[in-house]
Amino acid sequence: MDVFQSAKLPQVTLNTIAISLYRLVFGFPVPILFALLLNEIRVLWFKRTIQTVTYFPHFLSWVVFSGIVFNLLGPLGIVNLVLTNLGFAPVNFLTMPEYFRSILVVTGIAKEFGWGAIIYMAALSGIDPQQYEAAKIDGAGKLRQIWHVTLPGIRSVIALMLVLSLGGILDAGFDQVFMMYNGAVMGVADIIDTYVYRLGLEEAQYEMATVFGLLKGIIGFTLIVTANAIIRRMGEKSLW
């Protein structure tokens, strides 16, 4: 049996949840921290340059971006070239299961964190500057201003983005995984979307693919409603 047909649904579900949780835990704070750092830059041309460079990867398709990843981490990639020149044996990172999930998470963050920071930058621009002046008069340093003024000022936006992120907990990134996985890492990389793709298009089991897709949508909707209710009970601004 082909290795692409050997994945079982429980393992596929576990992979999906694991990758999505890694993305949420490690990826969700990055745009927030990046927006906070950008907000402190006062040299306008430098700030705009950084924004442009970090926004740009979002507009690349995963076909292109995965090619960049292969050129970095593949057997003949830049990383292995450096390792070889330093006297180490080359490592094919993309065929090693122990590295693959980390590569998915890190490359996903690298591609989207600049774009994700846009909404937080917009929220930061809405904070009243007089609050910072009052904090300075009270003797607050830069870190205390961020903790007591900046973060409370964007707390409702963070809560909304968290609700939306929880709703997509079963969306582990089909485009990225489909372009980067291979038989060697199938055990840790196969997710619900790729499993449904094979069921529907390769095996023509349209009814099963529809069922799994529908269940995924129902679970996502339930998570959004639940998270929204929790956020509303906490007194934050909710989706509805």
Give first-to-last CA distance, the chain, whole Å. 49
Closest CA to 108 of 172, 50, 170, 165: 172
| pLDDT tens figures, 100-129 | 999 999 999 999 999 999 999 999 988 888
Tell me if residue 61 falls in helix, strand or coil: coil
Q: Cα separation of 237 and 168, whole Å?
A: 19
Among the residue ranges 44-48, 130-134, 220-224, the one predicted with the least confidence is: 220-224
Closest CA to 194 of 2, 5, 1: 5
| pLDDT tens figures, 152-207 | 889 888 988 888 887 778 888 889 999 998 888 988 888 888 888 887 777 777 77
Question: Please, where are the H alpha helices in 138-199?
Answer: 142-145, 151-153, 155-167, 174-180, 186-189, 192-197
Indicate the pLDDT class of residue 5, thresholds 50, 70 and 90.
very low
| pLDDT tens figures, 20-75 | 999 999 999 999 999 999 988 888 899 999 999 999 999 999 999 999 999 999 88
The structure tokens listed for 59 are 């507009």
Are 27 and 104 in contact, with CB atoms under 8 Å apart?
no
Domain extent listing, the chain = 3-233
pTM (2 d.p.) = 0.84
Are 189 and 173 in contact, with CB atoms under 8 Å apart?
no
Q: Cα separation of 52 and 46, whole Å?
A: 10
- Domain 3-233 adopts which CATH fold? MetI-like fold (1.10.3720)
Are 47 and 117 in contact, with CB atoms under 8 Å apart?
no
CA distances from 24 to 13, 142, 149, 181, 240 (A): 16, 27, 25, 20, 22
Q: Cα separation of 56 and 208, whole Å?
A: 38
